Amino acid sequence: MSSLLSGRIHRLGGDIELDERVSWCPPGVRRTQAVNCYLLKGPSGSVLVDTGIRLHRADIIEQLGRLMSPGEPLSIVLTRTEMECCLNIPAIEEHFTVDSVWYTGGITVPRSKAESKRIAVDPGTSMRVEVLDGVVVELVSPLLRLLPTLWVFDPESGGLLTSDAFTHGGSAAPETREGLRKFRWFTGADTRPIARNVGDIFRDRDVRAVGPGYGTPFIGTDMCLEQAGELARAIEEMGIQ
């Protein structure tokens, strides 16, 4: 567990062994990788962005217990309705007061006692939403996606939580970053609009930290802009020219 931005956003979760057992691992890679979810602290409650993987369930509940007061309201925002994002909802509800679960797409949210709030954000656009009293975030729908995906931007701190994008943090040299190599499946597409959209998201916002669902976050305005440019170039270079 670590603070991402001035105590406003905290990174939760833990590490996994990255090898052939992990579906997103490129051949030949053997190392560890962080799998993250994030807690955003508000004036009267907290917002959890994704809920982590089952392997880290006990750790995440313990981390939430250290960061939250007894009875503190909690809202959950899912960047995707995939298992690594939502599987721990029932366990978290056993220990904390979950008011609502926000999600996008047509897949049903896993069993939850809280109010489920489905939200649609058109690809390439964004929407500001008060997901908990006193906590307004911008839900960004990037063009860089397969399934419906939300990136969560916190205007107060400048934190951008990017789900399954920007996952190359923590790799070695840029030319060997596995998180960028994965875009080889773009080879038959015109990727220029997708690359431009990545750049636009950063140009239009004061992004001071990028928190991916996997890998090491990027901290600092200059670093975030640099990594956005690197990601956009990788996407564009993989597409048809």
Coil, strand or helix: which one is 3?
Answer: strand
Beta pairing partners, 102: 77, 117
Q: Which pLDDT value is given to residue 30?
A: 83
Coil, strand or helix: which one is 213?
Answer: coil
| 118-158 per-position pLDDT tens digit | 999 999 999 999 999 999 999 999 999 888 999 999 999 99
Name the token pair of 73: 């309201």
Burial class (CB in 10 A: 0-12, 13-18, 19+), 8: middle
User: Are 201 and 140 in contact, with CB atoms under 8 Å apart?
Assistant: yes
Structural domains in the chain, CATH included, are 2-238 (3.60.15.10)
The H-or-E segment that residue 46 falls in is strand 46-49
Instruction: Please give the share of the chain, as a percent, with pLDDT higher than 90.
Output: 69
Q: Which pLDDT value is given to residue 176?
A: 44
Q: What is the mean pLDDT of the chain?
A: 90
User: Where are any strands of DSSP class E within 167-222?
Assistant: 209-211, 218-219
Q: Is the pLDDT of residue 79 over 50?
A: yes
166: left (phi over 0), alpha (psi -120 to 50) or beta: left
85: CB partners within 8 A, 6+ apart: 37, 50, 51, 78, 79, 163, 213
C-alpha 50/C-alpha 8 separation (Å) is 16
| 198-216 per-position pLDDT tens digit | 999 999 999 999 999 999 9
C-alpha 77/C-alpha 87 separation (Å) is 13
Arithmetic mean of pLDDT, 171-184: 54
Can you tell me which residue has the tokens 């790799």? 171
Provide the residue count of the chain. Answer: 241
Can you tell me which residue has the tokens 């994002």? 85
The amino acid occupying position 179 is: G
